[in-house]
Chain A
Amino acid sequence: MQLIIIIISSVLINNYVLVQFLGICPFIGVSKKLSPAISMGVATTFVMTITAAVAWIINQYILIGLNLQFLEIGSFILVIAGLVQLVEMFIKKTSKPLYDALGIFLPLITTNCAILGLALLLVIKEYNFIESIVFGFGSGAGFTLALVIMAGIREELELADVPSYFKGAPITLITASCIALAFMGFAGLI
C-alpha cells in the first residue's frame, strides 16, 4: 500500500516538473516534438531508477556509515556522472536500437537537476531501499508524463497565432502554467 501511495504521489501529486520544478531545462528544451520527448523521458526514467538504488546504498553504507554526510553533494554528482557513462556503454553493447533512439540524451542527463534532486530527496524523505527504487521510477514516470503532455500541446501550438514577443519560451511557460493548474486537481487524491 505504501508503495502505491509513493507511485501516485510522485507521478501525479508531487509531479517532478510541474510541482517541484526539477528538470525544467529538458522540459522546455526537448518538448518541441513528441518522439524525442518520449525518448528523453524513457532515458531519464531508466537512469533515475538506477540512481535511486545506487544513491540509497551509498548514503546508507558509505556516507552514514562513515559519518561523512557533508560529502553528500560531491559524492552524489560524481556517482551520477559515472553511472550515466556506465549505462551508456551498457546500452551500446547490449541494445543498439535503444542506444540509437536515446542518442544524445543519455550524456545530457548528467547535468539534469532532476537526477541529483532525486538523490537528495531520497535522503530527506528517509525511504528504505525498495521505497527508494519505487520513488525513483515514479518520479521518472511523472517527468515523462509532463514532457509528453507538453510536447503534444506544443506540436499544436506551432499553428497558433501567438504574439511575436511571446513566441518560444514565454508561451511554453504559460502553457506549462495551465498544465500545472490542471495537475493541482490531483492534490486531494490521497
Chain B
Amino acid sequence: MSTGKVTVWKDFAKGLWDENPSLRMLLGCCPTLAMTTSAINGFSMGIAVIFTLICSSAIISLMRNLIPKEVRIATYIIIISTFVTVVDRTMAAFLPAISKAMGPFIPLIVVNCIILGRAEAFASKNTVGRSIIDAMGMSIGFTLTLTFLGSLRELIGAGTIFSFQIMPESFIPWAVIVLPPGAFLMLGLIIGTVNWLNTQITKKTAH
C-alpha cells in the first residue's frame, strides 16, 4: 500500500519540478512566452491546458489498446482538438475579454508539444488512473510556471500582480518587460536560475 502511494506522488510531483514542462523540458515555449504579459493571462492559459491535458490523457489512455500504431499521432491530434474546441468555445462564451486577449493561442493548444508529448510518452502506455495523475502534475507544473512568470513580468513591467498595486507609487515600471523582448529575457534568466538551483540541490543531497 505504501509503495502505491509513493508512485502516485512520484507521478504527480515529477511534473512540478524534475520534469517541469516549460522550465526543464522546454516544451510549450510559445504560450509560455506569449501569454505571460500579466499574471491573469498566464493563469488562464494554464487552466485551459489543465483541462485539455487531463481530458485528452484520460481518453487516450482508455483507448490505448484500440488505436492502431500507424495512425496513433493523427488519432491523438483529433482527440486533443476536440477538447481544445470545447475550451475555446466555452471561453469565448463566458470570458470574452480573456478569450480576445489570448488571440489564436487557445486553438494553438492543439499543437502544443506538452499535450502530444504526454500522450505519446505516458498516456499511451499507462493505466487511466496513472495517466490522469501524470497529466495533473504536468499541467499544474505548467500553470505554476506561467503564473509565476506572468506575475514577475507584471510586477516589473507594470508594478502590479493580478492588477493589485504592489510597487510603491514612485516606482517607474520597466515597460520593456511586458513587451516581447522582456518575455525572452525573463524566461532565459529563470531557466538559468533553475539550472543553478538544481545543481545546488543535487550537491546538498549528495553530501
Contact = CB atoms under 8 A, between A and B. Distances in A.
Interface string A179-190: 011001000000
Given A116-B108, A166-B192, A177-B188, A73 B88 contact: yes
A165 B116 CA distance: 29
B66 interface: no
A14 to B, nearest CB: 10
A112 B112 CA distance: 9
Given A21-B34, A111-B116, A170-B192, A180 B180 contact: yes
A121 B188 CA distance: 27
A120 B74 CA distance: 20
Given A120-B108, A170-B188, A28 B29 contact: yes
A86 B20 CA distance: 36
A21 B37 CA distance: 12
B127 interface: no
A116 B34 contact: no
Contacts of B74: 78, 81
Contact of B85 (A70, A112, A181): A70
B63 interface: no
A177 B34 contact: no
Given A166-B192, A166-B195, A77 B104 contact: no
A124 B189 contact: no
B111 A116 contact: yes
A23 B103 CA distance: 15
**Interface range, B side:** 35 or more
A50 interface: no
A131 interface: no
Contacts of A47: none
Contact of B188 (A23, A24, A71, A172): A172
A24 B26 CA distance: 10
B104 A184 contact: no
B77 A81 contact: yes
A112 B185 CA distance: 23
A180 B181 contact: yes
B111 A173 contact: no
A28 B181 contact: no
A57 interface: no
A40 interface: no
Contacts of B176: 181
B192 A181 contact: no
Interface of B: 26, 29-30, 33-34, 74, 77-78, 81-82, 84-85, 88-89, 103-104, 107-108, 110-113, 116, 176, 179-185, 187-189, 191-193, 195-196, 199
6 contacts: A71-B85, A73-B107, A77-B77, A116-B110, A184-B179, A184-B180
